Each structure stands twice: as C-alpha cells, then as structure tokens.
Amino acid sequence: MTGRFLNGVVLVLVLGLGLTQSSHVINDPYQFENEMKRIDDMKNEMKLDEVNVRSLDNKQLQADVNQQQIDGILKIYEASVTECKREAKMKIEKSIEKARNRLRGISKRHYQDLIHLKKSFASNEDLTEALRSEMCSACAFEKVCENPLALTLLGVDTNLGNAAQRRQCKATILTLAATLFPESPKMSEKCDEDAPFRTINGKCNNLKNPYFGAVGGELQRLVVPDYGDCVSTLRRARNGDELPNARNVSRFVHDGNDETERPESNRLTHLAMNFAQFLDHDVTLVEAQGLECEPDNESPECINIEVPADDVSFTEREVNFFELERDAPHRPSEECKLIPRGHSNTITAFIDTSNVTAQAKRRPCFAAGDERANENQEEIFQETRRILGAVFQVIVYKEFLPLVLSKETIRENELELLSGKTCFKDYDPTLNAQMFQAFSTAAYRFGHSLIRDTFSRLSQNGFEHNYNDYKSEFLPIPVLDFGNPTYIYDKGQGGLDAIYRGLVDDSASKLDGLLSSSVQLELSRGEGDLADLLAINIERAREHGVPGYVEYHNNVCRIRPRIRDFDDLKLLAFPTW
C-alpha cells in the first residue's frame, strides 16, 4: 500500500494541494492581494524558475539510440576515467579534512544535531567515497561532452554554443544512465518467507526485492534531477544564472507576517499538522554530513543563505546568514558512474511506526526472577509493534488522507481501505516503496503552512468550553520552543492532556503560501541560531536537484493548459472560481 500512497500523494502534493479544482480540498480559494502585486513587481527581475534539463521520453530516446552508439559513448567514457579518478583522489584528500568538522561548540550546535541520532550522519568512509566518486563523475562528464564524436553519437545540436552543447550532452547521458550504467545487483539477502514479523530495517518486507524500501536505500526520482552542472551543484535559472536569494523569495513572495492573524483552516485542526509531521518521521530521513558551516568554511558543501542587508527582520538581531550544510550524497555502487547526486533514506520507507518501535531495542533488557523473561519481552515487543503498525496504517489511509486529498483523487489512485473482510490481492513486488525526492524534499512540506504561532493548552472544562471553571486555559506553548519535551511533564499547566486538548480544539492555519512568523522569522535551531524555515526549504530543494514546479505541472502530470510564464502561474495560484 505504501507505493500506492506515494503515487497518489506525491503528485497531488507536488502540485500544491489546490492548484487544480478537482484536488482542492483543504481550504477555499484564498487570494493574496499583496502577493499578486509582488509577483508583478518581480516579473522583470526574475526568470521563470523552470527546470534546466528538459524532460525527455526515456523509452523513445533509448529506442533511438542503438547499441553501436552506446558502445561508442562507453568507450569515450572509459578513456577518461583513469585520469578523472586520479584528479578526484587528489582533490578529495585536500578538501575533506578541511571541510569536515564534528567538534562544534554547544552554543552553535545544529538543530539537526540535537534531534537526530548518530546513525543519521554519514560515516567518514561513505562520505569520502561518495564525494570522490562525484568529483570523478563531473570530470568524466566534461571530458565526454567535450569530445566531438560523443556529440555526434548523441545527436547534440552542434549549432549551439559550447556551454549549451555540453548541457544537452549531459542531459541526454543522464536520461540514458540506466542503459549505460545499469545498477549493480546487491548481494542477495536471504529472506525467511515464514517470518512472523517485519524486520526493523525493512529488508525482506518485499521477498522478491528485499532492499526495496529498506534503510539506506536511495530516494527515487520522478524526473531527471536538475543540478546546475547536471551532476551535483545547486539548481540554476533557465538562462544559467543563479536563482534568487532564498530569503528574498521567502519575504517577497510568501511574506504575510505583517498581518495581525493568519486565516484558519475550516477543515483541519492543529493535530493534523502534528500528525503529518509524525508520519513524515516514519518514512523519510536523509543523512547529514556534520559540517561546521561558519562563513570562513569555503567548502562547496556549505550553502549558507545570506540575509540581505535591507532585511531588518534579521539584521537588527545581528543575524547575517542562515547556516546550512548540504545533505550527504548517496554512495554509489560503483565509483565514477555518469550519474547525478542522490540521497540515502536512513529509515524505512514503510508506514510501520519505525519512529516509535525501532528505538525500543536500544533500551536495557528487563531483569526478572526468570532469566528467560527477555524472550517473552521480545515477543511482546514484536506483537505490539505489529499491532501499532497496523493501527497507524489505518489512521493514515482512513482518517488522514481523506482530510488532505479529495474523494476523486483517493478513488483514482486506489487509496481507499477495503471494507469488511476483503483482502488486498494486488500486491506488486516490482513496485519500489522507497520515498521520492519530490515528496520528501518539497511536496510534503506543505504542512509547514498549517503551523500556528502557539500550541494551546486547555483544561477539561476549557476543552468543553465551560468557562465557569476558574481555570479553563493554561499558558500556551510558543512554536519557537517546539521540540522542548519538558512541557509534557509540566503538571501545573495540564501536562500532556492539556497539550492534546489544544491540538484537537485549535484549527490549523489555512493552507496557503504563508507561514507563521514563529517559523519564518523565529525558527530557533539552537542558542543564537535563528533562521527562516521557508528559505531553508527553498534552498534544500535546490541542493537536492528537485526541478521547479513547472516541470511537474507540464511534463510529469501533463496538466493543461501548460504553464508558459508568470501570468499562467498567477491564474493557477489565484483562481477566479
């Protein structure tokens, strides 16, 4: 069912949850006059943010490229590999020790350090090998695409300028990557077909393809990634320029914090936002590198967001940049393949409550009068884990998805739970359950728009709106203190019960192009480390090579009419119905 969940949710959420009428469920259309004006003002300053690598029909292209052409490209590539490997080895030895530094001071510790376990950081070996392979790949790409014979074999338009020729050459090779460099089969995993429980790491959940959806798998792509150099550098504008500063995009296009209050959702409570995040933490977590990205770190893996000089919201608080490191690249199975950067999922892609139950085995075993007590405990743990996973799946498909997707979308993508005692019989072992980049890096972050500025805490009487009681409400929890577990133990303010009453009673913020000031202006990732969550989201998608919205609208979902310019985008963002 996870694969079907992806098919339905990824494409719909990528398209904005409401930009087409049939999928618009969460909120009524809401028009932002300020945003309309800002987009008009920016039309002459920005190029339409479209993907640089045009989508190509893989099957058609592969049919047009014969084996002789493929052999010719491989021969040119192999001639360049030895030199490129030597160059990459020299570069990585000079840069890796400079760039990598885990010895941060507590005051500047990353938010990611505070909430992630050690396993979510790439090992020194994996990171070094991945970066070296990537450098070699970039070198090989250049050498292949500088070769006139390669351009002829790939049918590159030689009337283009040198830069355009190389880009078209690289884009064609990327589309042919599966043919040129088929994925090496992993060592076979011996699966127990009669095992009563899922494995903790997700292996063998699919008996025919044991690694599908398992820990460490590479996030999938819906389309060819869009990197500036086709391999790993940040996405660029269509004309080759750098994209606009992410903080400027955040404040000029999405800034609604001058309003006194954000509109509320007429459909979702604040608990929906919390549940959506919980679900996210069950299915995706990419590896971090563990860099100290202070301004003097010149590593290309540091992509700090500069705060513009006129951005008084931050400069008046002496915040001049948002520290940001790139996520760790996935280590390819073979060095120096002509493939773009990918990313590893450090948790299972299955909806299996791994964010809850996978931690239990780390705790000390139980001591009892019988030395075999832990054998029983293990069975209780596994049975509980199986039950929790099943309950969670039912909640996701029966309660959560119908709130964020239309009935039509759920029906078309076969996301309904079967009724009665009917069993699902359409399991497809060829379907890879691994998460998609577009989902984890872009689409599913729609939930950030639902966040309020505070979490209310209500007493039982307050929840029932009986205000005769002397204490119906406790002090609210500011979102900027989100992640502080001490509130759970604050019995004087109602503890956990009061927090959950507030989540159920409060409406979520309306799904729109705005974020609460608590995460757009006050995101705290540690002492003295303020940032803008929306700007970080924008930059993260760019560094993962996720193409722009227009690519998904025009070429993945093939929605008509096609988007050609900002005027077309305005019609979608601000519908007239």
Binding residues: 448
**Dist. CA 510–CA 273, nearest whole Å:** 11
Please name the residues in contact with 329: beta carbons below 8 A apart, sequence gap of 6 or more.
Answer: 127, 130, 131, 134, 232, 341, 342, 343
Please name the residues in contact with 67: beta carbons below 8 A apart, sequence gap of 6 or more.
Answer: none
Q: Which residues are annotated as a binding site for heme b?
A: 448
Cα separations in angstroms, 381 against 356, 360, 375: 11, 8, 10
Residue 448's φ and ψ, nearest 5 degrees, are -65, -25
Q: In the 8-state DSSP scheme, what is residue 227?
A: -
Comparing CA positions, the residue from 527, 535, 520 lying closest to residue 479 is: 520
**Dist. CA 193–CA 199, nearest whole Å:** 12
Neighbour count for residue 380 (Cβ, 10 Å): 10
**Dist. CA 526–CA 473, nearest whole Å:** 29
Comparing CA positions, the residue from 325, 324, 307 lying closest to residue 316 is: 307
**Dist. CA 150–CA 70, nearest whole Å:** 10
**Dist. CA 162–CA 165, nearest whole Å:** 5
CA dihedral 486, 489, 492, 494 (to 10 degrees): 110
Strand, coil or helix: what is 316?
Answer: coil
Q: Residues 499, 515, 28, CA angle at the centre, nearest 5°? A: 90
**Dist. CA 559–CA 549, nearest whole Å:** 12
Q: In the 8-state DSSP scheme, what is residue 371?
A: T
| Contact between 413 and 407 (Cβ < 8 Å) | no
